[in-house]
Chains A and B, each alone.
Chain A
Amino acid sequence: MKKACLLLEDGFYQEGLSLGAEGETIGEVVFNTSLTGYQEILTDPSYKGQIVCMTYPLIGNYGINSQDVESSQLQVEGFIIKEKSKIYSNWQAEKSLEEYLKENNIVGIEGVDTRAITKHLRVKGSMRGIISTTDFNLESLKEKLEKSPSIVGRDLVKEVFNNQVYEWEQPLISEFNPLISPQGKAVVIDCGVKFSILRNLKVYFEKVIVTPPVISLEKILEFQPQGILFSNGPGDPEPVSYAIDLAKKIIANLEKEKLNLGVMGICLGHQILGLALGAKTYKLKFGHHGGNHPVKDLRTGKIDITSQNHNFCVDSQSLPEDIEITHINLYDNTPEGMAHKKLPLFSVQFHPEAGPGPFDARYIFGRFKEICLREKT
């Protein structure tokens, strides 16, 4: 078995075995605490620029299937795990994790103390790292790392969004969908959208249209949507100025009552709306990545266990008066959702679409439809 190594910016070093493709990869190293859902994580565009370290040690057990994908390709820069399963066992599985990574040229490492890495990141904060199966020279690895760009101030969205405008057809397959009759039209501003968001929207909306974020409002309005959703996406929201400008324009038009539609943001989309509203964002020490974060809806008192994946956060102090914080994370009290007091606009930092993670907050898409259709009448 081929050797591999991992070096972090601050000199933290571990050796293990090669996982997936051979070669070298650099990215910001983050840990994810989900027990399941590695395939969704690998394909989640929000992980662009990042190397993901899974805290659960046994990965690959149920293999890879063709349904549980969040985009049309693998997105992570690298993958760090404790132990890769030798076989996969699940009725849906079509191939192994190893094959999947190799086919998609993703460099990973296994056989390392992922708990030690996790604790290191928790204490020191997320940082860049390099995985290599070719270079074991600390000096040269360090040099490569230093040359790599930081995630702060870098526009990763442009690397992941789909340039085409297209319609999403496939609704979520779930035996729990109450008898919802899909109505209206929603436009999704794709900043690296997860398929689960589209699948969920399709349950509530008759038409779901996906557009790139570099698009004019006029063009969007040609679709005559009742709702616009700013999707999730990777990295720092600040450099994504085109999306922020678009959001500003939409908000201004809503304020002037020139527009009659609902607006929602998820994760990066939430941060973009925050920035558009004049708030600031900042980088969290090691981010939120997992499927077990309690989020409280301050208006109802209800707590949902949510799926999370973000490194940046809206600074609630900097929000204008018109904005109400609607959700908080009970782990660290950071804001997890906001709503405009007057306009039909709200956003959430967590992932109501799950994929991976609990289904607790899926109803939020229903809430979006409600405000969209309320505005229409």
Chain B
Amino acid sequence: MPKREDIEKILIIGSGPIIISQACEFDYSGTQACKALKSEGYKVVLLNSNPATIMTDPEFADSTYIEPITVEVLEKIIQQEKPQACLPTLGGQTALNVAFSASKKGIFKKYNVELIGANEEAIAKAEDRKLFKQAMESAGIGLPKSKVVYSLEEAKSALKDIGLPCVIRPAFTLGGTGGGIAFNEEEFEQIVELGLKLSLIKEVLIEEAVLGWKEYELEVMRDKNDNVVIICSIENFDPMGIHTGDSITVAPAQTLTDQEYQMMRTLAIKAIRAIGVETGGSNIQFAVNPSDGRIVIIEMNPRVSRSSALASKATGFPIAKIAAKLAVGYSLEEIPNDITKETPASFEPTIDYCVVKVPRWAFEKFPGAEPVLTTSMKSVGEVMAIGRTFKEALQKALRGLEIGKNGLESVIDERRYKVQPQEVEAEVKAKLLTPNPQRIFYIGDAFRLGFSVEEVYQLTKIDRWFLSNIKEIIDFESSLKLYRGLDPRTLRKAKELGFSDIQIARILNINPAKISSFREKHSISPVYKFVDTCAGEFQAYTPYYYSTYEYEEEVFSNRKKKVIILGGGPNRIGQGIEFDYCCVHASFALGEEGLLSIMVNCNPETVSTDYDTSDRLYFEPITLEDVLNIIRKENPLGVILQFGGQTPLNLALGLEKAGVKILGTQASSIDLAEDREKFKKLLHRLGLKQAPSGIAYSFYEAKKIAKELGFPVMVRPSYVLGGRAMEIVYEEEVLERFIREAILASPNQPILIDKFLEDAIEVDVDMIGDGVNFVIGGILEHIEEAGVHSGDSAMCLPPYSLPDSMIEKIRKATYSLAKELKIVGLMNIQYAVKNEELFVLEVNPRASRTIPFVSKSIGVPLAKLATKVMLGRSLRELGFTEEIIPAYTCVKESVFPFNRFTGIDIILGPEMKSTGEVMGIDESFAKAYLKSQISAGQFLPKKGRVFISVKNSDKRAIVFIAKGLRDLGFEILATEGTGKVLKSNGIPCLVLPKVSEGRPNILDYIKDKKVNLIINTPSGRIPRQDEIKIRSEAVKHEIPCITTISGAQASLSAIEVFRREDFQVKPIQIYHKEVSK
């Protein structure tokens, strides 16, 4: 039975901004779905608020709505587009939740739209813990003991049966938000209360803690003929108790007998049938008692997930693409397996390698958040590695993380261990006992200190099989240490165990270059093998490779001219989907230019690591050694580094030394932009201003410089990137502390001190050049003032408040810089405007985070053009010669993970904290800003109460905003200081007592949801504890909280429009037509 002919148009819902637990994997799945459905001849309508996605590129759907993902918007789109079906299973929990709410409101029924993939009933059964439990019980599938509760009282009585420790899981939340494990009654009450608040349906499950049990996941697919296949089994390295998104995971399962595995497989099939997912993929989690093999089901996602993206990359089976085809009526046997061509998709992939995924965290960005792992996911990215053994794959993954480790290296200080062995041992034990981001490294160290597998097992409950493998790595390392000189056999063995050249060099205490030349001399180099879904049983046609130290090479020779694109590695704060978007565009451009595109990346979430994206995919860590190995094999024309963020740029020097041609802007120009002194001279020559600055090597020097520049100053250690450890300093005392810490952390490294331009307006400019001609892609005015990291600011294109004369000045400066740097490809410049003066903050001769946003705004794929330019085409040839200034307004807003780190302050600063972005487009700034806020989850109120508390320097500016809100009918609450100013300006308000001084205070209002908006700017550099409390409580209770005056101003105008009229939705394809008019 082929596809359904009664459907013409299908609405796909995306997952919105990148947040913790919902990242690029849903762009990967959504893009596959759009492609699959379009190729079947369906009209595709897409809703996604995230502009940094490939799926929202205008080619991937017939109508692309970059609009807020809400029920209201969904209804508007349905009215406008009249689709016959809606596919909600490829856009993560966001899509599933919005579709579920819309379905409950009867919207699909009203417009005669069919939910395909999973219907309302199936979603409810999988997501509602009570219904899930019933369904599993009636299918004879074992569960942990549990009870569903709706209030704290019910929870307390349930606890009597279940006992402590127990797990608390709120229904309908993302990635386990609000869930946790309680070990005592106080904790229990806290978590239950929070869970009840966060749950969409105010429902929480109290469950027997299966802590320390082994955790497994199966990726299951079902077609309409009720044929079910398992795509992949995944075994969590970390046992139950840590969210699977925060666990190291391994595919396939390693420690189950066939009987046990087949039993689990059978349970999974029963589960998908019991839940009633009609077609598509589901992820099912199980726990296994290590002492008797008892299997219980934990949960099921009736949709594609992060794990299904991982499973797709791990096996070569494209789950999302197949899910989309199944949803429109195909059966598994009717769909061919892309990789083998001859065999159908109705089979179970089998693999002949081991896959390891390791998460990457960003706790350093959130001071105050405890770096401890629980059932609530906190990682921001992940890396996957493939090897022929677990040991090889694990070490590849660890070096792919880019956290300064070249493999399973030590995290303890050897010198300290010699002096204080007991203390260090105790520390290691503590780190093994409580799961944390560095636990894997501490396991290695435990073995280095002589712990046995059994001792480590007792502390971690990580399966002994994994521990024993890690011990083998460490044992080999110790034997290597005793070694004098190198011999080919030992080196080969080291490489087979996944050791990198640098890691070996460190162990042997020699220069890494010696290792690589020794390897070359003895031809110890990796071979590349296929990921082929079938363990070699059939011929593979899709060149998806991984490296390993084995005998047979499988790379096809191809005489076509090749270009290698280096991807961005694991997502992290500051480097995420935006860069993957650019890499994918580079790949498309290479294809259009008739070149063979080769992608290198190790992030399993991304579109770039879809084997369908490039002509060849190497799933490898992005280190100099791994990249050079590939270059030697492929001998490409050149390598593109501009698009993968800082990761590939860090390799520029090494690649150049190795004689590799780097496409685009020359290294000398990159150096010119990155070397402070050279850059200073360049600006001077061009007559451009820079904030005055200096370099200090001691506190004395720093003090002197700061005095000359005048406080406030921006300080940072020179060795860090991406705003890490940057601080704005207002006084000498703080400066002293900062310098002391910086020097302690890294002696002999200079400290950079810039005059901080307070209250300046920041501007980002993205431009493209072919070395001769240069065109501005977009000028983006920041909404938050200078001092907030550009990755965290909201931005507006075109500028909404800058005078034309200043914009002209910016243009001129940009062109003169581009000319001087002979930019070939992309460049991003950050400016600050203060008192009508223009300052250059920094120049990045590469793709910036804003490229996808600008491309979507102006309707020109800048990264694609930039690639072509790097290959020698001129902008004239490509038809992009003039800056496009849209008649509409586009606003980019950032999205933050504050709800994951309860209790931390949400104030923005020079350290980037956002994980993702959304875009609002409309005819005016106010409307576009409003949309961006809704998309970002800041639900600005139309009426109600607003609480205002601002620092002294903001008091003058707040008067106008308060007046505006008052005129719109808002009731105003204020703190004493702010209230006094407002009252004396004739604005009536209710003054609330300070949090510590009386009640009801603002915290009571927040908890009772009696306040609808909070405007609170920080009082000083070190915010007062009560302020932090107010802001973090606001986040917890989902009350929009604005922390800057500029943000408040923009919000006021948005609320004004919001009250006046309902907003309209429009696809970007139409906006882009308007632009070209």
- Tell me the A residues contacting B by CB distance below 8 Å: 14, 31, 33-37, 39-40, 55-58, 61-62, 65, 67-68, 82-83, 85-92, 112-116, 118-119, 122, 174-176, 290-294, 296, 301-303, 305, 330-332, 354-359
With A33-B537, A57-B353: A294-B347 Cβ-Cβ less than 8 Å: yes
CB of B723 within 8 A of chain A? no
Asked whether B229 lies within 8 Å of A305 as measured between CB atoms, the reply is: yes
Question: Whole-angstrom distance between the alpha carbons of A101 and B773 in the complex?
Answer: 72
With A58-B389, A89-B465: A115-B350 Cβ-Cβ less than 8 Å: no
Question: Whole-angstrom distance between the alpha carbons of A31 and B332 in the complex?
Answer: 26
Asked whether B550 lies within 8 Å of A87 as measured between CB atoms, the reply is: no
Asked whether A119 lies within 8 Å of B350 as measured between CB atoms, the reply is: no
Q: Which 4 A-B pairs have the closest CB atoms?
A: A37-B258, A116-B552, A356-B258, A55-B535
8 Å CB contact of A61 from B227, B255, B348, B551:
B255
Asked whether B536 lies within 8 Å of A115 as measured between CB atoms, the reply is: yes
CB of B354 within 8 A of chain A? yes
Residues of chain A within 8 A (CB-CB) of B350 are: 33-35, 55-56, 290-292
A199 CB → nearest B CB, Å: 11
Segment among B288-296, B362-370, B509-517, B633-641 that sits at the interface with chain A: B288-296
With A85-B465, A303-B227, A354-B262: A296-B333 Cβ-Cβ less than 8 Å: yes
Asked whether B352 lies within 8 Å of A118 as measured between CB atoms, the reply is: yes
8 Å CB contact of A68 from B258, B265, B354:
B258
B240 CB → nearest A CB, Å: 16
Asked whether A175 lies within 8 Å of B140 as measured between CB atoms, the reply is: yes
Asked whether B465 lies within 8 Å of A87 as measured between CB atoms, the reply is: yes
8 Å CB contact of B535 from A39, A115, A175:
A115
Question: Whole-angstrom distance between the alpha carbons of A301 and B463 in the complex?
Answer: 42
Asked whether A91 lies within 8 Å of B348 as measured between CB atoms, the reply is: no
8 Å CB contact of B265 from A37, A290, A359:
A359
Question: Whole-angstrom distance between the alpha carbons of A35 and B254 in the complex?
Answer: 9
CB of B1066 within 8 A of chain A? no
Question: Whole-angstrom distance between the alpha carbons of A296 and B333 in the complex?
Answer: 9
Residue of B nearest to A55 (CB): B535
With A35-B252, A56-B352, A292-B347: A118-B535 Cβ-Cβ less than 8 Å: yes
CB of B388 within 8 A of chain A? yes
Asked whether B536 lies within 8 Å of A122 as measured between CB atoms, the reply is: yes
8 Å CB contact of B332 from A35, A115, A303:
A303
Residues of chain B within 8 A (CB-CB) of A36 are: 253, 256-258, 261
Asked whether A330 lies within 8 Å of B551 as measured between CB atoms, the reply is: no
Question: Whole-angstrom distance between the alpha carbons of A36 and B258 in the complex?
Answer: 5
Residue of B nearest to A293 (CB): B347
- Tell me the B residues contacting A by CB distance below 8 Å: 140, 225-227, 229-230, 233, 252-263, 265-266, 290-293, 332-333, 342-344, 346-354, 388-390, 453, 463-465, 468-469, 472, 529, 534-539, 550-552
B234 CB → nearest A CB, Å: 12
Asked whether A119 lies within 8 Å of B536 as measured between CB atoms, the reply is: yes
Residues of chain B within 8 A (CB-CB) of A91 are: 290-293
Question: Whole-angstrom distance between the alpha carbons of A91 and B529 in the complex?
Answer: 34
Asked whether A176 lies within 8 Å of B140 as measured between CB atoms, the reply is: yes
Asked whether A116 lies within 8 Å of B259 as measured between CB atoms, the reply is: no
Residues of chain B within 8 A (CB-CB) of A39 are: 257-258
Asked whether A330 lies within 8 Å of B468 as measured between CB atoms, the reply is: no
Residues of chain A within 8 A (CB-CB) of B352 are: 33, 55-57, 114-115, 118
Other than the given A39-B257, A292-B348, A359-B262, 8 more pairs (CB < 8 A) read A33-B537, A55-B352, A61-B254, A85-B468, A89-B255, A116-B551, A296-B333, A354-B262
Asked whether A58 lies within 8 Å of B354 as measured between CB atoms, the reply is: yes
8 Å CB contact of B550 from A89, A113, A174, A359:
A113
With A33-B535, A58-B389, A115-B550: A90-B348 Cβ-Cβ less than 8 Å: no
With A91-B291, A303-B332, A330-B333: A359-B468 Cβ-Cβ less than 8 Å: no
Question: Whole-angstrom distance between the alpha carbons of A118 and B550 in the complex?
Answer: 14
With A35-B252, A86-B472, A331-B347: A55-B227 Cβ-Cβ less than 8 Å: no
Residue of A nearest to B465 (CB): A89
8 Å CB contact of B351 from A56, A112, A176, A332:
A56
Asked whether B552 lies within 8 Å of A113 as measured between CB atoms, the reply is: yes
B983 CB → nearest A CB, Å: 71
Give the residue among B262, B472, B534 with the most A Cβ atoms within 10 A.
B262
Residue of A nearest to B457 (CB): A89
A334 CB → nearest B CB, Å: 13
Question: Whole-angstrom distance between the alpha carbons of A86 and B260 in the complex?
Answer: 21
Question: Whole-angstrom distance between the alpha carbons of A157 and B260 in the complex?
Answer: 30
Asked whether B255 lies within 8 Å of A359 as measured between CB atoms, the reply is: no
Residues of chain A within 8 A (CB-CB) of B332 are: 303
With A87-B464, A114-B352: A303-B536 Cβ-Cβ less than 8 Å: no
Question: Whole-angstrom distance between the alpha carbons of A92 and B537 in the complex?
Answer: 31
Q: Could you give 26 example pairs across A and B, Cβ below 8 Å?
A: A33-B535, A34-B350, A35-B261, A35-B350, A55-B350, A55-B535, A56-B252, A56-B350, A57-B389, A61-B254, A62-B254, A62-B256, A62-B257, A68-B259, A83-B389, A113-B551, A115-B529, A122-B536, A174-B263, A290-B537, A302-B227, A303-B346, A305-B230, A330-B333, A330-B344, A331-B538
Asked whether B347 lies within 8 Å of A55 as measured between CB atoms, the reply is: no
Residue of A nearest to B551 (CB): A113
A66 CB → nearest B CB, Å: 12
B274 CB → nearest A CB, Å: 13
Residues of chain B within 8 A (CB-CB) of A357 are: 258, 262
Asked whether B254 lies within 8 Å of A58 as measured between CB atoms, the reply is: yes
Residues of chain B within 8 A (CB-CB) of A119 are: 536, 552
Residue of A nearest to B288 (CB): A91
Asked whether A87 lies within 8 Å of B389 as measured between CB atoms, the reply is: no
Asked whether B463 lies within 8 Å of A89 as measured between CB atoms, the reply is: yes
Residues of chain A within 8 A (CB-CB) of B535 are: 33, 55-56, 115, 118, 290
Residues of chain A within 8 A (CB-CB) of B291 are: 91
Asked whether A330 lies within 8 Å of B536 as measured between CB atoms, the reply is: no
Residues of chain A within 8 A (CB-CB) of B538 are: 122, 331
Residue of B nearest to A83 (CB): B389
Residues of chain B within 8 A (CB-CB) of A40 are: 258
Residues of chain A within 8 A (CB-CB) of B229 are: 294, 305
With A58-B389, A115-B552: A90-B351 Cβ-Cβ less than 8 Å: no
Asked whether B346 lies within 8 Å of A294 as measured between CB atoms, the reply is: yes
Residues of chain B within 8 A (CB-CB) of A57 are: 352-354, 388-389
Question: Whole-angstrom distance between the alpha carbons of A305 and B346 in the complex?
Answer: 8
Residues of chain B within 8 A (CB-CB) of A358 are: 262, 265-266, 348
Residues of chain A within 8 A (CB-CB) of B463 are: 89
Residues of chain B within 8 A (CB-CB) of A174 are: 263
Asked whether A35 lies within 8 Å of B265 as measured between CB atoms, the reply is: no
A353 CB → nearest B CB, Å: 11
Give the residue among A55, A68, A88, A293 with the most B Cβ atoms within 10 A.
A55
Residues of chain A within 8 A (CB-CB) of B258 are: 34, 36-37, 39-40, 68, 291, 355-357
Asked whether B257 lies within 8 Å of A68 as measured between CB atoms, the reply is: yes
B350 CB → nearest A CB, Å: 5
Asked whether A330 lies within 8 Å of B225 as measured between CB atoms, the reply is: no
Give the residue among B255, B292, B353, B469 with the most A Cβ atoms within 10 A.
B255
Question: Whole-angstrom distance between the alpha carbons of A37 and B262 in the complex?
Answer: 10
Residue of A nearest to B252 (CB): A35
Residue of A nearest to B453 (CB): A87
Question: Whole-angstrom distance between the alpha carbons of A359 and B230 in the complex?
Answer: 12
Residue of A nearest to B350 (CB): A33
Give the residue among B253, B266, B333 with the most A Cβ atoms within 10 A.
B266
Residue of B nearest to A88 (CB): B465
Residues of chain B within 8 A (CB-CB) of A89 are: 255, 463-465, 468
8 Å CB contact of B537 from A61, A83, A122:
A122
Residues of chain A within 8 A (CB-CB) of B333 are: 294, 296, 303, 330
Residues of chain B within 8 A (CB-CB) of A122 are: 536-539
Residues of chain A within 8 A (CB-CB) of B227 are: 302-303
B232 CB → nearest A CB, Å: 10
